[in-house]
Amino acid sequence: MFKIPLISVFAISLSIMTSVAIADDHAQKETSTGTQQPAGVNTLSCNFLPGKDMDDYMKVVNKYNEWADENNPNPQSAWVFIPSFFDTRAHDFYWVGASPSRLEAAQNMDYWMENGASLGKQFQKVTDCDQSQLWAGQTIYASDNFEDLPRGMVGAQSCKIHAGKSWSDVGEATRKIEQIVMDAGVTNRAVYRWQPREGVDRSKTDFLNLFVSETMEQRIRNGNMLSEAKAWPKIREINNSVMSCRSLGMSRFIKVR
């Protein structure tokens, strides 16, 4: 789906990830945690100005894409996350931009800050984006058909590692859970992990998990397959032994770059 890591932008206030993580320049069939270079993910939490909507926003995005194609020093993919299932909806949408590495993302951002003022003013006539965050994205698993997925559903979790546990424990738990999911025959999916960097309150989260499906139907079908395989209790036991996670809700996403 996403060639570069996407989640969320889900904040942790919910205010946010990322296949939208999403991790490197090519979505990978399966990746061992900790072995790939993290992607650079920038999220913006946005609200429409009075009288404006997504059609107005996309007109400016199209201009941005033309500008970025000519000027960005490095590759960039981007998605819009539109909240669909939330207890409380803090923003109208989230912009998620990703580059193959944090360094490349930073170089793109620096160039935009130096040269994008005129186009930036056009965005400001449509939206008010009150929060910007940076993440290091990683692909845990992505089906081949997620290589360039144009739209789909993404659910996000905010997780804290238990005291006395380490990233090594998280990696081992992830491998065990992935094996259980694969044994149940669930393959049409993508999983991404984002670690907080600039602009994120790290006292509230150690990382985000993003679970991507093509449609809501596919998400339910995958869940039913895990239920039939009696996999959920095993997954919860492994997960709860290492970390505690809370849902940040579910969004519909559209690939816009």
Of 253, 248, 129, the residue nearest 190 (C-alpha): 253
Find where tokens 């939490």 sit.
Answer: 45
- DSSP H or E stretch at residue 30: none
3-class secondary-structure state, position 207:
strand
CA–CA separation, 221 and 206 (whole Å): 29
Q: Provide the whole-model pTM.
A: 0.85
Of the pLDDT bands very low, low, confident and very high (cuts 50, 70, 90), residue 18 is very low
Name residues whose C-beta falls within 8 Å of residue 213's C-beta, 6 or more positions apart in sequence.
152, 153, 154, 188, 189, 190, 219, 222
Of 34, 5, 11, the residue nearest 204 (C-alpha): 11
Whether residue 58 is predicted with pLDDT greater than 60 in this model: the reply is yes
Of the pLDDT bands very low, low, confident and very high (cuts 50, 70, 90), residue 89 is confident
In a domain? residue 129: yes
In a domain? residue 10: no
Of 255, 231, 207, the residue nearest 12 (C-alpha): 207
pLDDT digits (tens, 9 = 90+) for 186-213: 999 999 999 999 999 999 999 999 999 9
Write the CATH number for 230.
3.30.70.100
Return the structure tokens found at 138.
């990683």
Q: How far is CA 191 from CA 5, 75, 117, 138, 187, in A?
A: 10, 22, 35, 9, 11
- DSSP H or E stretch at residue 187: none
- DSSP H or E stretch at residue 180: helix 167-183
Whether residue 154 is predicted with pLDDT greater than 50 in this model: the reply is yes
Q: What is the mean pLDDT of the chain?
A: 88
Of the pLDDT bands very low, low, confident and very high (cuts 50, 70, 90), residue 34 is very low
In a domain? residue 15: no
Q: Count the domains in the chain.
A: 1
pLDDT digits (tens, 9 = 90+) for 212-253: 999 999 999 999 999 999 999 999 999 999 999 999 999 999
Of the pLDDT bands very low, low, confident and very high (cuts 50, 70, 90), residue 88 is confident
In a domain? residue 31: no
Domain that holds residue 110: 39-255
In a domain? residue 79: yes
In a domain? residue 146: yes
In a domain? residue 201: yes
* DSSP tally for the chain: helices H, then strands E: 6, 8
In a domain? residue 28: no
